[in-house]
Structure 1
Amino acid sequence: MMRDAQTFEPQEARLTRPAFWRALGATWTSDEEETLVCCQVRQETHDVKSFFFMSREGRTFSFEPGQFITLELEIDGETINRCYTISSAPTRPHTISITVKRVPDGKVSNWLHDNLRAGDTVRVLGPAGEFTCARHAAGKYLFLSAGSGITPLMSMSRSHHELGEDRDIVFVHSARTPDDIIFARELDLIAANQQRFRTSFVCERMGQRTNWPGITGFLTLPLLRLIAPDFMEREIFTCGPAPYMKAVRDLLDEAGFDRTQYHEESFSFDSLSPAEQAAATEGEHAPAEAAEAAEAAEADGATKFSVSFTKMRRDIECGAHEHVLDAAKRAGVRLPASCTQGMCGTCKVKLVSGQVDMRHNGGIRQREIDQGMVLLCCSKPLSDLVVEK
C-alpha cells in the first residue's frame, strides 16, 4: 500500500493557530463558503487517492457518516458536477475527505488524480444524503462493500471507533486483489482496538501476493453465513458497483432477509459504460424507458403544463406529476444531467416564471433557490414554466 501524501498548510494557519481553534464553533455550509481548499492528497492504493479539504475561514464540518458532497469542477472548459461520499468521520471536524478510485476513461476521476493538488481550491455543495447509520440505530450492523464503495462504510466505522463505541459490526469488503483493499491497515487497527468490530476481506484473485491468508473468490450466501452467521439479525448497509449490489440483494432475498433492515447507496458516474455515461450526462433514455414514461403520463391523464426553454427556443408539455427533466427527455430536448436524483446540481437552471414542486437531495444551495434556480430532475410543474436554458 502506498503512503505518499501531499500536504498544504496555509501560511495564515501556521502563524495564527489560536485563531483557528477559536473558530471551532463556526460550521461550514456551502451557502456561506462555496470554495474549499485541498489541504492533502494521500495515495491509498496504486489507483486510489484520498483528497482532504479544509475551510479557509477555519470553519468546521458537520455531517452524518455516510453522506456525500458534490464537487463542481471545470474540466476542459466544461462544468461537471460529481457526487462523492465523504470518507472521513464527523468526529474530526476540521477537514473533510473523499476517496476516489481512478477509473479507465473516467473523465472526473482521472482529472482529480492527475490535476488536483494540495493548495488548489474546489467548489463544493453539500453535505447531503440519507445513507447513514446515524438514522438507523441498531445493536448489530453488517457492512458490505466492494471497491471504492468502501468510503461511506469507512466513515461510519471511523465514527464508531473515534467515539469509543465498541458496536457489534461485521465489515465485509470485496476487492480485486489484496493490494486493492482500500484502508486495509486502518481497518485492522480498528478491529484491534474494538473487540466487537470484525473484518473480512474477499478478493477475486491473489494478484501479486503469494501468501494471502484471506478468502479468494466472490461473496456468496454460504460464505456470508460463515463470516456472519447471525446476519439475518443485523442492520445491513451496502455500497459498491451496481452488479455487486444486485448480487447482494439476490443472495439476501434467497435467504429471506427482511428488506426493511437493508440500505444501499451508489452513484459512480465514472464507472458507467461510455453509452450509459452519455445517456446520464446528456439526458437520454433508452427507447423502451421513454415509451414507458410516455405511456404512464398519458394513462395518468394529469393536467399538462407548458415549459418554454428561452435560449433553446423549444416548447414542451409536462404533466403535473412528471419531473420536468423526464418530460424534456421524452420530447427530445437535450439537457445536461447526471444523477437525476437532485444530488449533483448538473441540471440546475434559472426559472424565469412559474412555480414548481422541487424535492432535492442537496444539489442546490438555498441562496440559489432564493434567486430562482431549480433542479429540473426533481421539479414537477405547478403552473406553466419559462426556463432560461
Structure 2
Amino acid sequence: MSNFYSLKVSEIKEQTSEAVAVSFDVPVELYDEFNYKPGQYLTLKFNIEGEEVRRSYSLCSSPLFEEALTIGVKRVKNGLVSNYINDNLKVGDEVEIMIPNGRFYADVKEDNYKTYYLFAAGSGITPILSILKSVLIGEPNSYIHMIYGNTNQDTVLFKSELEKLRNEYPTRLILVHSLSKPKTSWFSSKKEFEYRKGRVDAEAINWFINEYPPYAQNAEYFICGPGEMIENTKEALKNIDVPDNRIFIESFGGSSTNNNLEGIEKAALKAKLNNEEINISIEKGETVLRALLNNKFDPPYSCEGGVCSSCVCKLKKGKVTMKKNMALSEKEVKEGYILSCQSIALTKEIEVVFE
C-alpha cells in the first residue's frame, strides 16, 4: 500500500540556475513517520495535465541537524516533474509525499570510528550531503574524504553549504571539487579554494585515495551520480581490493536503456500482493508494474525509472528482462529479485511475490 501525506512547502531556495532545494513542514503528529536515515529519499506525487506522476528525490537534509525536511531537484531535459518543480512549485503549496525510504544510507552511531569516502557527481550530491552532515555531527571520531564532480563552478550544488562545513570541520573533512570544464576566474583570488580539473573517473579515484589515505582503517565508500561515473568509481575501488560489502551505490540516471523490448503477447501474471493472489494478463511490452496498475491494483512504486527500488519483488516462476536496473545488485538479481517497473515478461507465465 502506497500511503501519501500532504506536506506544505516551507521554503524554495535556488542552488544554481538549474536546481532548487525544496523544504517541507512536517506536522508534529507525523514526526515519527517522517524520521529518516541519512541518504534516503522521498517520493512525491503530482497531478500534471490530468496525469498522476510520481518521482523520487533524495533528502539533502540531515536527521541529526535542526533543519527542515529538504530535497534537491535539478532540471532534467524533458523532465516532466523536475521541471514542474523548478518552474511552478511555490511556498505554501501542498505536496503529496510518501514517508522516507531507500537502502542507500549511512548507519550513523556516536561511537563509530570510520573513514568515509564519499564520491558524488552533479545532483548525486543530494544524498551524499545528508550523509556528510550526519557523520560530521553524529560521529565525532569519524573522518570524511569527499570528491565532488561537476562541469564548472556554476553547476556546483550546495556550494556555500559545503564550504561552510569544510570551514567548520577542517580536521575531519577533506573536500575536493573536480571540474571537467572549469572557469579559470572562479575564486582565483582565494588561494585556499582549490579544485582538480577533470571528471570523477578511475584516474581521479586512484589519485584521491593515494593523496588522502584513510585515518581509520574501518572505511566505507558511498557513490552517487550518473551510471558511467558509478561504474568507473566502483571498478577503481575493486581494483584496489575494496570489498563489495563496503561499497554503497545510488544511481542518478545515465545508464543505458533498452526501449526496444516487446516481450510475450498476453503473458499470464500471477502475483502475491498485500496477502492477495492476483491473476491477470500482461500486454506485449507492458511491465509487471504497469499491468497491475492498469488493472486497478496498488503495488508499491515510486520513480518508475529503475532507480529507487520501491517496486522490487521476487520472481518465483518464468523469465523477465529489465529495461533498466540501477537499484539492484548482481547478487540480488541472481537471487531472483526484479524491479517490477522495468520487467517485461519473456515467458508465457510468470509469478512474482511482493514481500
Cross-structure match for 1:12: none
> Given the alignment of the two structures, is residue 69 of structure 1 paired with residue 42 of structure 2, yes or no?
yes
CA distance 1:200–1:253, change in 2 (3 Å): same
Counterpart CA distance in 2 for 1:147 and 1:341 is 16
Cross-structure match for 2:321: none
Counterpart CA distance in 2 for 1:143 and 1:221 is 14
Counterpart CA distance in 1 for 2:233 and 2:255 is 19
Which aligned pairs between 1:2-81 and structure 2 lie closer than 5 A?
A: 31=3, 34-56=5-27, 59-60=30-31, 61-81=34-54
Aligned residues: 288
> Given the alignment of the two structures, is residue 317 of structure 1 paired with residue 264 of structure 2, yes or no?
no
> Given the alignment of the two structures, is residue 144 of structure 1 paired with residue 115 of structure 2, yes or no?
no
Shift of 1:266: 1.8
Which aligned pairs between 1:183-262 and structure 2 lie closer than 5 A?
A: 183-194=158-169, 195-207=171-183, 209=185, 211=188, 213-229=194-210, 230=213, 234-262=219-247
Identity, in percent, stands at 23
Aligned AA for 1:66?
Answer: G
Shift of 1:380: 4.7
* Residues 228 and 255 in structure 2, CA contact (< 8 A), matched pair in contact too: no
Cross-structure match for 1:180: 155
Shift of 1:49: 0.3
Shift of 1:181: 1.3
Shift of 1:218: 1.7
Counterpart CA distance in 1 for 2:71 and 2:154 is 20
Q: Which stretch shifts more, 149-158 or 184-193?
A: 184-193
Shift of 1:247: 1.4
* Residues 39 and 118 in structure 1, CA contact (< 8 A), matched pair in contact too: yes
* Residues 83 and 344 in structure 1, CA contact (< 8 A), matched pair in contact too: no
User: TM-score normalised to the size of structure 2?
Assistant: 0.69
**Per the alignment, in what secondary structure is the counterpart of residue 49 of structure 1?**
strand
Aligned AA for 2:55?
Answer: R
> Given the alignment of the two structures, is residue 88 of structure 1 paired with residue 69 of structure 2, yes or no?
no
* Residues 285 and 329 in structure 1, CA contact (< 8 A), matched pair in contact too: no
> Given the alignment of the two structures, is residue 170 of structure 1 paired with residue 145 of structure 2, yes or no?
yes
* Residues 240 and 266 in structure 1, CA contact (< 8 A), matched pair in contact too: yes
Shift of 1:200: 0.5
Aligned AA for 1:196?
Answer: R
**Per the alignment, in what secondary structure is the counterpart of residue 99 of structure 2?**
strand
**Per the alignment, in what secondary structure is the counterpart of residue 228 of structure 1?**
helix
Aligned AA for 1:112?
Answer: I
**How much is the aligned-residue C-alpha RMSD, in angstroms?**
3.7
CA distance 1:66–1:247, change in 2 (3 Å): same
Counterpart CA distance in 2 for 1:331 and 1:62 is 41
User: TM-score normalised to the size of structure 1?
Assistant: 0.64
Counterpart CA distance in 1 for 2:84 and 2:312 is 18
Cross-structure match for 1:305: none
Counterpart CA distance in 1 for 2:194 and 2:66 is 36
> Given the alignment of the two structures, is residue 156 of structure 1 paired with residue 141 of structure 2, yes or no?
no
Which runs of no fewer than 5 residues in structure 1 stay unpaired? 1-29, 295-313, 348-374, 383-389
Shift of 1:99: 0.3
Which aligned pairs between 1:350-361 and structure 2 lie closer than 5 A?
A: none
Task: Deviation per CA, 1:180-228: give whole Å up to 9, x if none.
Answer: 1112222222222221111011001113735384111123444334333
Shift of 1:346: 12
Counterpart CA distance in 1 for 2:35 and 2:281 is 36
Counterpart CA distance in 2 for 1:272 and 1:328 is 29
Aligned AA for 1:44?
Answer: Q
**Per the alignment, in what secondary structure is the counterpart of residue 200 of structure 2?**
coil
* Residues 319 and 381 in structure 1, CA contact (< 8 A), matched pair in contact too: yes
CA distance 1:330–1:246, change in 2 (3 Å): farther
Shift of 1:161: 2.9
Q: Which structure would you say has the larger Rg?
A: 1
CA distance 1:257–1:57, change in 2 (3 Å): closer
Task: Deviation per CA, 1:309-358: give whole Å up to 9, x if none.
Answer: xxxxx96423689xx99x966744462771457755799xxxxxxxxxxx
> Given the alignment of the two structures, is residue 118 of structure 1 paired with residue 91 of structure 2, yes or no?
yes
Aligned AA for 1:43?
Answer: E
Counterpart CA distance in 2 for 1:261 and 1:164 is 18
Cross-structure match for 1:132: 105
* Residues 62 and 93 in structure 1, CA contact (< 8 A), matched pair in contact too: no
